[in-house]
Copies of this chain bind each other. A is one copy, B any other.
């Protein structure tokens, strides 16, 4: 799974694996400009959404419910943005796009988590691929809280 995420901006992966289903891996995205941002990546290589099969779609719909519910319980976001873009793969000479989704919770009001304040500076508008890193120990806690709420 070698890829650079448009929103995550990390080579060689999508972040920290926090959950998996039969067909999808769920990662906590390295950039937390929007608290709780995750990447949901198909386990097999697949270039376009039209190649995703019946079982993978059904499994994906369960991931959507599980993730939205987990975030609802953890941080009560106002809404959720989902996108499957794959643009950044095409900046290279030999693009190898892979189906993966950006799951981006959006917040009308700021949220505080472990004494860090998360504003959503673009609320009401498209999410920007600008990086916000947070300390590793807070990433770890964030990963655990999402995982706990998925169970």
| Residue ranges of A at the interface with B (Cβ–Cβ < 8 Å) | 6, 48-50, 52, 54, 57-58, 60-61, 64-65, 68-69, 78-88, 90-91, 97, 106, 108, 123-127, 129
Task: Establish whether residues B79 and A97, one from each chain, have CB atoms under 8 Å apart when the complex forms.
Answer: yes
A83 touches B82 (CB 8 A): yes
Quick check: B61 and A48 within 8 Å, CB to CB?
no
Q: List 22 A-B contacts (CB under 8 A).
A: A6-B126, A49-B64, A49-B68, A49-B82, A50-B65, A52-B61, A57-B58, A57-B61, A78-B90, A79-B87, A79-B90, A81-B83, A81-B87, A82-B83, A83-B83, A85-B126, A85-B127, A87-B123, A87-B124, A90-B106, A90-B108, A90-B123
Chain B residue nearest to A125 in the complex (CB): B87
With A57-B61, A61-B54 known to touch, is A79 a contact of B48 (CB < 8 Å)? yes
